[in-house]
A and B are shown apart, each in its own frame.
Chain A
Amino acid sequence: MHFETVIGLEVHLQLATQSKIFSGSATAFGAEPNTQASAVDLAMPGMLPVLNEQAVRFAVMFGLGIGAEIGRRSVFDRKNYFYPDLPKGYQISQFSDPVVGRGTFEIQLEDGSTREIGITRAHLEEDAGKSLHEDFHGCSGIDLNRAGTPLLEIVTDPDIRSAEEAVAYLKALHSLVTYLGISDGNMAEGSMRCDINISLRPVGSDTLGTRAEIKNVNSFRFVEKAIQHEIERQSDILEDGGKVVQETRLYDADRNETRPMRSKEVANDYRYFPEPDLLPVELDDAFIEELRELLPELPREKRARFVSDYGLGDYDAGVLAASRPLADYFEAVASEAGDAKIAANWVQVELLGRLNRDEKDITDCPVPAPHLAQLIQRILDNSISGKIAKQVFESMWNGEGDADSVIAAKGLKQVSDSGELEAMVASVIDGNPEQVEQYRAADEGKRKKLVGFFVGQVMKVSKGQANPQMVNQLLADKLG
């Protein structure tokens, strides 16, 4: 039997506010345990939450970024459960009236096709602390630094059909939220965590199968692997005539498998009810319009502009627009170099390739945009060949200066002086009488092939710096 995969994602996005969502504590990552936990975060008796307005602004900016309905009156609720890293015994979240309502999100797949993913809702809530199970000799430690960090939980409709689509969605989401500046998007530090709801159904069926929920996956690669594994697991069960159990599972990256969490966790009744310590959040038009004015050009708009203004292909434009710093870098190179297509090619192929190889982000790129632009200019004005340019780029990457100083220091400037080139060509012809003989005896078709030998020899003599067009021309003249 053939199955169709149905996936819905819940992303917990940490918002880039300076302080927590309901207290004045700092949200910086990596501080000593419990040094960023105030009396409110510790749920000391009598302490009360006060909503951080910036968190609301960020949530609304997200809503505007995906063209969603903005909840004019959103309500915080208590989600009740006991856990040591949840100090109040309830999480303040939003249940029936979220700040962001229905919206849609367009993703682009590698083959260039696009898909619309429905966004069910996005709501504000507070993060929990962390339980530390090591170094406590049979006990657990609790670190409440993270408790109260603002989260935006973004929930999709069950519109995703494959691991590839899931990853494309997450990448696009990551791109959007970093464009908006509402999250640092740092997945390794847990700024973007993903719960995956996944079920299978026979192709053609329109009822949903029983789903499993995979909790807290925190990298694109793990999302892809967890989904692939889960598809396999569920289809094995269904093909054997079995039934998928609705449960919460954990993805174990080391073993590349999912396994069930304790079943007790699944049977939670969260007893949601409106948080009496906070008033409903009422947003008026002025507040929303003010934020709309603040929205930057978003990835989709930027991509379209790259296609129309620079004549880039849709896919290339998508790659360059995916991250705001990358897009900014590209635009800086393109405008200084004066040729957007070559700039796009260099940024996408050489620069991104090199960044990937060193596992660096564009923000840590050792080659500043003006230096790359200068390099491209040297190709365009025939100072160097494309091949030499790659060598120059490597030196620039290694911190040896800008393009001109590398070219000068290494004497890589292309030889276009006809006198010099004539001498080189002459010495090659003189030094290879047999090949000259062969060439002269050959017909037009074979000659084209044989001339390559002489070009190679000249380039060798010139250490790659001879202007290839001129060498070709001279050889054609001399060999007759």
Chain B
Amino acid sequence: MDAEQKSVELNLEYGKIDAIIGSYSGEKSALIAILQEIENLYGYLPTWALKYVSKKLEIPMIQVYGVASFYDAFHLTPRGKHLIRVCLGTACYLRGSSRVLEAIENELGIKDGETTGNLKFTIQSVRCLGACALAPVMVIGESYFDKMTPTRAGKVLKQIQGKKEDD
């Protein structure tokens, strides 16, 4: 890709962010909401996007970075296609969810919060999804899996891995 093409593409991306900022009328107090939309768009917050937001909203980069690194909803590195969330809320923890997390970590060979090299899976422990009757609960994408055990979690994961290799 030559430099000219690259700059055209970056301008395209800037345009998307302009649109988001515009929808909040450039309000400084909308910083978190704007970052949430950028996170939705890219699955994480690219550094160039943070810099661009800082410039456009006239908020110092240190403050933008502060907010981006403060809240759990934001991520500064790319995330996997499949987000695996394991609940470590009290009800799930008491029913053994930390062992479920451990089984998934072993299966994928990554730790909590990390993403597999092929950008397929990200493991993210969460502190309560508010679905305590399903404890221990695991959520992959939008699908809930209830009453998890390490063995069942491994099986679910293998199923998804198998399916995804087909496409």
| Chain A complexes with chain B | no
